[in-house]
Amino acid sequence: MIENFEQFLNSYGYFAVFIGTFLEGEFALLVAGFFIKHGFLAPLPTLIFSILGALVHELIYFFLGRWKGRYFLLGNKYTKRK
């Protein structure tokens, strides 16, 4: 099973860390920490790619809220006052 992880990390490596923190931040960081401890990933690039993944995730939600937030809050039938 470790061989499968090693092959996966050799193929995708830090891109997998980026996507993992983009989609599910905390769990991906736990998994990345496991891989760092066992020597599959280096700490500094893992830190950089995890920060970038979390930052891109937050920026997308920020700009989505800035772009359509007012429409969602005022035009949504669940948030209208009666």
Q: Could you tell me if residue 32 is inside a domain?
A: yes
pLDDT computed for residue 2 by the predictor: 65
Decide if 81 is inside a domain.
Answer: no
Determine, yes or no, domain membership for 27.
Answer: yes
Q: Is residue 40 part of a domain?
A: yes
- Global pTM? 0.72
Domain ranges, residue 65: 2-75
Residue 63 has, within 13 A of its CA and on its CB side, a CA count of 5
Distance CA 46, CA 16 (A): 10
Question: Which backbone phi and psi does 9 adopt, to 5 degrees?
Answer: -70, -30
The answer to the question of residue 38 being in a domain is yes
Residue 23 lies in a domain: yes
Three-class SS state of 71: helix
Tally of structural domains, the chain:
1
Give the Cα separation of 43 and 79 in Å (integer): 45
> What pLDDT digit, counting tens, does each position of 17-46 carry?
898 888 887 888 898 898 899 888 899 999
